[in-house]
Amino acid sequence: MNNRIILGFSFLIFGILSMLSSRNIILLTFEDVVGIVFIFYSIPTVYSALNNGERGKLTASTILFLVGVVFLVKSYFEILDTRGIVFFSVLFISGSVLIILFIENVKEKIFLYAGIVLLILSYLSITQFKKLGLFNAANRIGILFEVFWPVILIVMGMIIFINRKK
């Protein structure tokens, strides 16, 4: 299926679901709608990109699929520690993308090894990192990063502005 057709259907589904949920005809949150659309778009896109040498499209659509799943899981289940789910999701999505890239090109064993390591780390982030106190340290670093994020952006912008070609 053509990627433009898939994208068109995805926008159509997004518009219809958004309109129906805004009119309270169906009970979906914005996260639900985005998750459904991401999943709908990514399944045929992954299928068409697999074994066609389109690694960028394969990577992006795999990430969209897994982000859509995270949105739906977050919407339907009560998750007390949202920062923990983000950390787990980043590790799990990165590992899954590397596994998919290995499936696409089985000669690249590094994708398999790195993917397995990241999947194991994602499992450990849910089960063991809290016990070791690593999660609390990462939480403190995340809070500091939130505080200093605007300053970091301003400094980066000024560096780019100062170092531009004249």
Task: Provide the pLDDT for residue 134.
Answer: 67
Task: Provide the pLDDT for residue 67.
Answer: 92
Task: Provide the pLDDT for residue 112.
Answer: 93
The tokens describing 7, both together, are 């994208």
The tokens describing 147, both together, are 């505080």
Rg (CA), the chain: 19
Q: Which pLDDT tens digit goes with each residue over 25-50?
A: 888 888 899 999 999 999 999 888 88
DSSP 166: -
Asked if pLDDT for residue 166 goes beyond 70, the answer is no
Alpha carbon distance 90, 66 (integer Å): 10
